[in-house]
Amino acid sequence: MKPAAFDYARPADWPAALALLAGGARPMAGGQSLGPMLNLRLAQPERVADLRHLPGYAGVEVQGEAIRIGAGTTHAAIEDGAVPGRLGAILAGVARRIAYRPVRNRGTIGGSLAHADPAADWVAVLPAFPGHAVALGPYGERRIPLARFVTGVFETALAPGELLRAIELPVLPETARWSHWKFCRKPGEFSKATACLLALPDAPPRLVLAALDTAPLVIEDATGLDPAALVTSISDPWRRRLALTALRRVLEGAA
């Protein structure tokens, strides 16, 4: 199937992108999610705004104790070491397991997060970090805690007229402990259960359980966590078993 006809726009700057969005255009980054939706006619926008050429949309910048990752930074760039330090090593390990290299060459961290598929890797992983999503709208930038950015299945905290501009994450010490586990039947498939845990010195461990057909479950303090008690609300037995396995694996990995 081919997509329905639509107009294509390539804004040269952020004000032009926001104007297109206000006019009803559908934003597109790498197109790895929107492209198939267009082909299946699940999405039929009158106009698509290609954000890839916006200034500062891709790239990584260290700003004091924070690292700002442009929303248009590709999975492949992160996999290849664009993010420095301990944080970069963690994110590279996550990016390396996203689909296949051709997908990683075009797919973007911001596009994945804003699409908010509950099984997507960045949707599951980023809430584990005490960072922010940087949204840009008609009234300027605002910062949304990553733990509260994805609010439901394909739903985010972005307000009408806002675009995801960047992700800001803290510079991590080398002693930061990280554990991550996801279940896929084969490479390239979306996860059926994902869990990750970040433990920083002098701070309680943060844990995320995701890919459960809802917003990620973020546990700000996973000290003494009982995995079995956490999954009792999952009605489907096999999904509950997978979630329990994911929790146990990340807790064992962090220990």
Looking at the fold, whether 80 and 151 belong to one and the same domain comes out as yes
pLDDT of amino acid 150: 97
55 domain residue, yes or no: no
Q: What are phi and psi of 163, to 5 degrees?
A: -120, 145
Looking at the fold, whether 98 and 119 belong to one and the same domain comes out as yes
Looking at the fold, whether 163 and 91 belong to one and the same domain comes out as yes
Using CA atoms, how far residue 226 sits from 79, 129, 148, 167, 178, in Å, is 33, 21, 23, 31, 19
Of 137, 153, 170, which one is at a domain's C-terminal end?
A: 170
What CATH number is associated with residue 234? 3.30.390.50
Domain, as residue range, for 19: 7-50
E-strand ranges in the chain read: 7-9, 26-28, 47-50, 60-63, 66-70, 132-137, 140-145, 150-152, 155-156, 163-170, 177-183, 193-199, 206-210, 217-219
Looking at the fold, whether 121 and 192 belong to one and the same domain comes out as no
Question: What is the end-to-end Cα distance of the chain in Å, rounded?
Answer: 49
Looking at the fold, whether 156 and 187 belong to one and the same domain comes out as no
Q: What is the pTM of this model?
A: 0.95
Q: 57-72 pLDDT, tens per residue?
A: 999 999 999 999 999 9
CA 218, 126, 122, 205: dihedral to nearest 10 degrees?
-60
Looking at the fold, whether 110 and 79 belong to one and the same domain comes out as yes
pLDDT of amino acid 190: 85
Number of domains observed in the structure of the chain: 3
What CATH number is associated with residue 21? 3.30.43.10
Q: 81-128 pLDDT, tens per residue?
A: 999 999 999 999 999 999 999 999 999 999 999 999 999 999 999 999
Looking at the fold, whether 239 and 163 belong to one and the same domain comes out as no
Ranges of residues in the chain whose predicted pLDDT is under 50: none
pLDDT of amino acid 250: 96
